[in-house]
Structures are given as structure tokens and as C-alpha cells.
Amino acid sequence: MEYIKSKIRDVMDFPTQGIVFKDLTTAFKDPRALHILGWDLSQLYRDKGVTKVVGIESRGFICGSILAFELGAGFVPARKPGKLPAETIKATYAKEYGKDTIEIHKDAIMEDDIVVLHDDVLATGGTMAAAYELVKSMNPKKIYINFIIELGALNGRKALPEDVQVDSLIVY
């Protein structure tokens, strides 16, 4: 993970004043870093029978798609309102710098699915908590949650269910 950490750029005051944004695009553009991320994420779930990976817009689409490919699972995008063409379910939530809404297709998850919810960064946990509730409402067999980066000082895990396995590759 030291190699990955060396490829992550800190951007001050983005998207708002006082935020230090962990920019993973600098890791994503590096072939070795992207390969390591895909491999390390997939190793967490190789023996779990995962059938779907839900990636959260937009950076969660990148490694979420790689994770789905590596696991032989389907990929489900969780998107901002109005971006998905078919019938959706949605949740509105608070995040560290405002409110937002997330949607997924109503038919994206089935009761026999084993799901990994993926996003790039765990900050306050609002986005992932909303995505978890959407997926849980579809009654899959099992849900796992994962991140590339966790900002430990923000205590985002407190927003997530205690009975769900949550994995982060890097904790700051």
C-alpha cells in the first residue's frame, strides 16, 4: 500500500474551504497502482460468492468495475438523480459538505445476490449509509462494504451498520 499512498495527491480546500481532498485520480492513471488496487480489492472477496458490485458515482465506478470484473460479478452503478434511464429507488443523505441524493435501478439487486458496495473514500459515511439502505431494501443474501481510503478521524464507520463487514485498503 505504500506504493499506492505515494500516488495519492492531497488537494487543499476542495470541494470547499477546509477540506483536504484525497485525489485518487493520480493513482488511477498509474498502471501499476491501478493493477495493485484491483488485485488487493478483489482478494478481500474472492471466496465470498459475490454476484454484484455496486459502485458509487463517480470515482466508485472505476475500481468498482475492476472489482466486479475480477470477481466475475455484475456491476451496478449508484448515481445522482436523473442519470439512470429506468425506474429507480433513491435516498437523500447529508455528507461532509452538504446534502445529496443517490439512486439505483429498482431491478438491479435480486434476493439471491451477494453484494459488495464500493466507493473510493470513507469520510463521514453518509453516502455509503444511503447506498447500503437502498441495497438492503432489495433484500440481498449478504452485503459487504469497501473503500480504497478511510479518513479515520472523521469516524465514518459510525454511520455504517455494525453487523456488516467494512474493509478499507488505506486508513489515514
Angle at 125 between CA 122 and CA 131, to 5 degrees: 100
27 phi and psi angles, rounded to 5 deg: -80, -40
Alpha carbon of residue 157 to chain centroid: 13
Residue-wise pLDDT for 31-48, tens only, equals 999 999 999 999 999 999
Is 59 in the active site?
yes
Residue-by-residue DSSP string for 70-138: HHT-EEEEEB-TT--SS-EEEEEEEETTEEEEEEEETTS--TT-EEEEEEEEESSSHHHHHHHHHHHTT
List of residues 6+ apart from 82 with CB closer than 8 A: none
Residue-wise pLDDT for 115-154, tens only, equals 999 999 999 899 999 999 999 999 999 999 999 999 999 9
- Hey, which residues does 118 pair with through a beta bridge? 55, 146
Per-residue pLDDT at 96:
59
Distance CA 101, CA 94 (A): 9
Is 96 in the active site?
yes
Closest-CA residue to 165 (of 118, 124, 105): 118
Give exposure, 29-42, as e/b (b: 16+ Cβ within 10 Å). ebeebbebbbebbb
Residue-wise pLDDT for 63-74, tens only, equals 999 999 999 999
**Model pTM greater than 0.75?**
yes
Per-residue pLDDT at 166:
98
Question: What is the pLDDT confidence band of residue 21, given thresholds at 50, 70 and 90?
Answer: very high
**99 pLDDT more than 90:** no
Q: What is the mean pLDDT of residues 23-38?
A: 98
Question: What is the pLDDT confidence band of residue 159, given thresholds at 50, 70 and 90?
Answer: very high
**16 pLDDT more than 90:** no
Distance CA 107, CA 88 (A): 8
The domain defined by 48-171 carries CATH number 3.40.50.2020: yes
Question: What is the pLDDT confidence band of residue 19, given thresholds at 50, 70 and 90?
Answer: confident
The active-site residue out of 9, 46, 57, 96 is 96
List of residues 6+ apart from 27 with CB closer than 8 A: 4, 7, 8, 33, 34, 37
Q: What is the mean pLDDT of residues 47-72?
A: 97
Per-residue pLDDT at 95:
66
The active-site residue out of 2, 46, 57, 59 is 59
Return the domain boundaries, the chain.
48-171
Per-residue pLDDT at 86:
97
**97 pLDDT more than 70:** no
